[in-house]
Structure 1
Amino acid sequence: MSDASRSARPGEGPKRFIFVLLDQFTLLCFSSAVEALRIANRMSGRDLYSWTLAGEGGDYAQSSSGIWFRLDTDLDEVMRDDTVLICGGIDVAKATSKRMLSWIRREARKGPMIGGLCTAGYTLAKAGLLDGKRATIHWENQDSFTEEFEEVTLTKSVFVIDGNRITTAGGTASIDLMLKIIAQDQGEELANLVADQLIYTSIRTDQDTQRLSIPTRIGVRHPKLGQVIRMMETNIEDPISPAQLAQEVGMSTRQLERLFRRYLNRSPKRYYMELRLAKARNLLMQTDMSVINVALACGFASPSHFSKCYRAHYSTTPYRERGTHAARTSA
């Protein structure tokens, strides 16, 4: 906890951040945020910000890397001027308890700024704090989030500030968020000084997306190939035929086939199937959706066909995959 001995402004104390650490929270998203605040204090020569670590029980919290943190407090009352940042990580649904949800709803009624770092956007959405708002979450959790929270407008941005609600994609997105807050509070000059101290040479805004571009991800810079893959990724539930994909980019089906074979060493149909199965695996592990509904959400007309394709790719059935994941999580 930062003990503010000097004021940020005459007659004012430091702006307080309350970091709520969920079980198995991601260390990077938390530490990136705290370091930005610490450096802002150092570079300004004033205690502009203070922070408190909170969590259920008020004792200790364990990060997903196995490192334990001693908490300053339990889930106590917050003030309207506080900023509450909930830090999520692995198995956020399991870490989001009924007590946590009740506390968030109660404190939200006071009107403070409340945010979810990394996967904790799920916690905010579960508490109903993101209904009718724009939000983001780590790309690996986007499929399951979309299925469960239809009333939230999910984006692929690195962070989103919508009114008094904040969400980030995780990882170093916390730095971008804090630099934005510091710039709003104290000006661009201090934010840039903090970025320099962090050796952070490219500050992202809420207009930047969290994943690498398709050409960077696949290691190929071919405009038509990238266009086809983008169409595949946005049409998982209702797959588009190879013939239609080829027509959309102005080539024949045979040319499209050669393009995929040359650059990705697989057919368009095989690549599309792998995208659909990857989404299915995410949904199986991150949601309580039935296997039948997972199959339908990923473009499979029947559970038997889905199970057959899943087993051929992952060497296990969807049911066993979910059971193994549940057992591993419990352990």
Structure 2
Amino acid sequence: MNHAATPMPDGIHDLRVSTFGFLLIKDFSLIALSTAVDPLRIANMVVGRKVYTFKLLSVDGDSVTSSDGIRVFTEGTIADNEVFDTVFVVGPNPIPQPRNLGITRWLRYQDGKGAALGGIDTGSYYLARAGLLDGYRCTIHWEDQDLLVERFPKLIVSNRLYEVDNKRYTCSGGVAPLDMMVQLISQPPGTRNLGARVLELLVAEKRSHEQRQRASLRQYQGTELPKLEEALQLMESNIEETLSIAEIAAYLTVSVRQLERWFHERLNKTPAQAYMEIRLLRARQLLYRTAKPLEEVCANTGFVSTTHFATKYKAQFEISPITDRKRYQGML
């Protein structure tokens, strides 16, 4: 079947060519790259010509190894100073500490030439380091949100799947680049119908940028019970200053006993156990992704004593928090 032959309205065949450059950083997410470039390929197929061209770039011109060990060949280097309509940094996970002035200079050069700038997965970190996200809404993979805020406290950082703010395009990792790219294709110089057609051919559904990244107990413990979902959401939203189980039940206008019954039937744990797990998962994220001292991690997750925190942490993960942080850092 020739999908490109499908008639499309809105002057879709009159679209001008837009150029994209994707800078790959070692240990980038392969699925994030794929979900960013494939919508462009599909759009070209629908239109019947190359209205979107893209080039994969590296810092030094060599192939770049993704986080799953697959090496991807690139077609250019930042030293070429080729100018694009839009450039994306496809960031690594986790974010490395060394500063690369070449990337900063290249991004500022592209900005000076009028290019739109984007960050995929942790790519927004590189834009922030170049001072190119000041005054713009942005987002990043939820695991690295604390690090971004810690390093650049003046940024406007959201937990949304993606942000499109003027000529700044940022998104989280995984398949979120697909949502962002469809949004870009759906606005000038693209068209709304082109974005819808791309989604149809990729057998995907449109997700709004308002949708938030899910990084919680709810993500892997589907409850299918609205009140229980709401209870978990309250716990996730009140980690630093914790609520009592009675306060949560009162907010939901149910009895503590009913709340406990729901947790036992659906999650096989008490509300207090679920709340503790949420707080400890949050603490582990802070230990892994930020340089916050142990005392600050405790305070950020509702613990008043480092001893109590360490005891609960070891019971949950079978390793002390300090040892866990060192082990994680040794794996990078």
Residue pairs, 1:34-53, within 5 angstroms: 34-53=37-56
The aligned residue for residue 157 of structure 2 is 154
- Could you tell me whether the CA contact under 8 Å between 1:215 and 1:222 is conserved in 2? no
- The Cα of 1:112 is off from its aligned counterpart by 1.8
**1:78 & 1:276 partners in 2: Cα distance?**
47
The aligned residue for residue 3 of structure 1 is none
SS at match of 1:53: strand
**1:231 & 1:131 partners in 2: Cα distance?**
31
Residue pairs, 1:217-232, within 5 angstroms: 217-232=220-235
- Could you tell me whether the CA contact under 8 Å between 1:22 and 1:95 is conserved in 2? no
- Could you tell me whether the CA contact under 8 Å between 2:31 and 2:175 is conserved in 1? yes
The aligned residue for residue 57 of structure 1 is 60
- Could you tell me whether the CA contact under 8 Å between 1:16 and 1:82 is conserved in 2? yes
> Which one of 192, 195, 201 corresponds to residue 197 of structure 1?
201
**1:120 & 1:95 partners in 2: Cα distance?**
15
The aligned residue for residue 26 of structure 2 is 23
The aligned residue for residue 167 of structure 1 is 170
- The Cα of 1:161 is off from its aligned counterpart by 0.4
- Could you tell me whether the CA contact under 8 Å between 1:111 and 1:164 is conserved in 2? no
**2:226 & 2:202 partners in 1: Cα distance?**
35
**1:214 & 1:280 partners in 2: Cα distance?**
14
SS at match of 2:312: helix
**1:64 & 1:295 partners in 2: Cα distance?**
31
- The Cα of 1:96 is off from its aligned counterpart by 6.0
Inter-CA distance 297–106: structure 2 relative to 1 (3 Å threshold): farther
Bigger shift: residues 176-185 or 210-219: 210-219
- The Cα of 1:22 is off from its aligned counterpart by 0.9
**1:23 & 1:56 partners in 2: Cα distance?**
10
SS at match of 2:286: helix
- The Cα of 1:297 is off from its aligned counterpart by 1.3
The aligned residue for residue 4 of structure 1 is none
SS at match of 1:150: coil
Bigger shift: residues 12-21 or 112-121: 12-21
Per-residue displacement from partner, 1:3-55 (whole Å, max 9, x unpaired)? xxxxx999x97311110101110111111221211222222122212112112
> Which one of 291, 316, 321 corresponds to residue 288 of structure 1?
291
- The number of equivalent residue pairs is 319
Per-residue displacement from partner, 1:239-289 (whole Å, max 9, x unpaired)? 111122122112333333333223222121211111111111111111122
- Could you tell me whether the CA contact under 8 Å between 2:239 and 2:302 is conserved in 1? yes
TM-score (norm 1): 0.87
**1:110 & 1:298 partners in 2: Cα distance?**
44
Matched, 1:306 2:309: yes
Matched, 1:33 2:36: yes
Which AA in structure 2 matches 1:239? T
> Which one of 252, 255, 258 corresponds to residue 252 of structure 1?
255
SS at match of 2:76: coil
Per-residue displacement from partner, 1:38-80 (whole Å, max 9, x unpaired)? 222222122212112112212121111111112222223253x
**1:243 & 1:271 partners in 2: Cα distance?**
14
SS at match of 2:75: coil
Inter-CA distance 42–207: structure 2 relative to 1 (3 Å threshold): same
The aligned residue for residue 186 of structure 1 is 190
The aligned residue for residue 272 of structure 1 is 275
Which AA in structure 2 matches 1:178? M
Inter-CA distance 212–291: structure 2 relative to 1 (3 Å threshold): closer
**2:196 & 2:279 partners in 1: Cα distance?**
42
Structure 1 vs Structure 2 CA RMSD: 2.6
> Which one of 93, 103, 106 corresponds to residue 106 of structure 2?
103
**2:108 & 2:302 partners in 1: Cα distance?**
36
- Could you tell me whether the CA contact under 8 Å between 1:144 and 1:287 is conserved in 2? yes
Aligned identity (percent) is 35
Inter-CA distance 46–154: structure 2 relative to 1 (3 Å threshold): same
> Which one of 184, 207, 211 corresponds to residue 210 of structure 2?
207
The aligned residue for residue 69 of structure 1 is 72
- The Cα of 1:142 is off from its aligned counterpart by 3.4
Per-residue displacement from partner, 1:226-251 (whole Å, max 9, x unpaired)? 22211110111111111221221123
- The Cα of 1:299 is off from its aligned counterpart by 1.4
- The Cα of 1:148 is off from its aligned counterpart by 4.2
- The Cα of 1:216 is off from its aligned counterpart by 6.9
